[in-house]
Amino acid sequence: MPAHIGYAAMLERFPPTEAVELAALAERHGFAGTMASDHFQPWLPAHGESPFVWSVLAAIGARTAGDLGPGVTTPGFRMHPAVVAQASATLASMYPGRHWLGLGSGEALNEHVVGQYWPEAPERIARMFEAVELIKRLFQASIAGRDVRFAGQFFKLESTRLWTMPAEPPEVFVAASGPVTARRAGRTADGLITMGAPDERLAALLQRFGEGAREAGRDPERMSRVLQLHLSWAPTDEQAMRNALEEWPMAGLRAPRADLRSPYDVEQFARTVRPEDFAGRLLVSADPDRHRAAIQRYLDLGFDRIYLHNVGRDQAAFLEVFGRDVLPALRT
């Protein structure tokens, strides 16, 4: 069967109207849907943008026919989980059967701006899963037409419901990069989101996700396994490498990024990145066949949806070449 390959709209890199145009252009070239990043600040000052993801997704939905969702939003810092649920339910009501909700544990770059204490990773993950529970309860109660209340370790919700709610709740996908989180996602979420990584690491994540799903009495083969894949394609290998170094050096950083608080901090770390740092982390090539083979390998591992982000500025050329030379050859 043709593979489900979508477009990753990195909203920190393009003005919102341009991001909407690119998502529509991607669909015209055969891309199946859109994953839009949720940032309050860009990774680098040179990126220059960070629009509100829910506004942009609503506009993308009006210009496209494929699936759409945030990749990923973080409940509980900038927005209470109930507000995230309301935003998601509204989008799902506007575009029935198309919207999914991607949730993650967050990065200081985006979440510290509201002045709350920025916790260590274990607490951030615990907060995320409690938010998943709250959001799913709110979805279920609202569909049933009744109020619900919630009192957890991190979040509280007084008796209420979502008054705008689709007939079916959006699927909730959880972002995971480690085996423990992936297994817990399999038990509690509707799907998994992760980023490109070495094959053995991704295979282990999918295995843990499947184990968690089976522990909860669910079939992991019927659950979504989503990959966001960064790549660097350009007409020449030299341009592809320049694009990687100038536009997306974060792919070559060896240190964790979740605790960095400013685009200027990221910029300082990014100056240490060299071409060899991208090996095994970001495919840099002008050859569409190399990219096709890499994407097919991820599909063969078990991912059923892949959203592509090309780090170069010329998105139109990327969408045309991949729509013509890469997407038609991919199979699940």
Catalytic positions, please? 39, 107
Q: Contact at 8 Å (CB) between 99 and 58?
A: no
Surface-to-core class of residue 160, CB atoms within 10 Å of its CB (0-12 exposed, 13-18 middle, 19+ buried): middle
3-state secondary structure the chain: CECEEEEEECCCCCCHHHHHHHHHHHHHCCCCEEEECCCCCCCCHHHCCCCCHHHHHHHHHHHCCCEEEECCECECCCECHHHHHHHHHHHHHHCCCCEEEEECCCCHHHHHHHCCCCCCHHHHHHHHHHHHHHHHHHHHHHHCCCCEEEECCCCEEEEECCCCCCCCCCEEEEECCCHHHHHHHHHHCCEEEEECCCHHHHHHHHHHHHHHHHHCCCCHHHCEEEEEEEEECCCCHHHHHHHHHHHCHHHHCCCCCCCCCCHHHHHHHHCCCCHHHHCCCCEECCCHHHHHHHHHHHHHHCCCEEEEEECCCCHHHHHHHHHHHCHHHCEC
64 in Cβ contact with 115 (< 8 Å):
no
CB atoms within 10 A of CB 237: 14
Give the number of other Cβ atoms within 10 Å of residue 25's Cβ: 18
Phi, psi of 149 (to 5 degrees): -125, 160
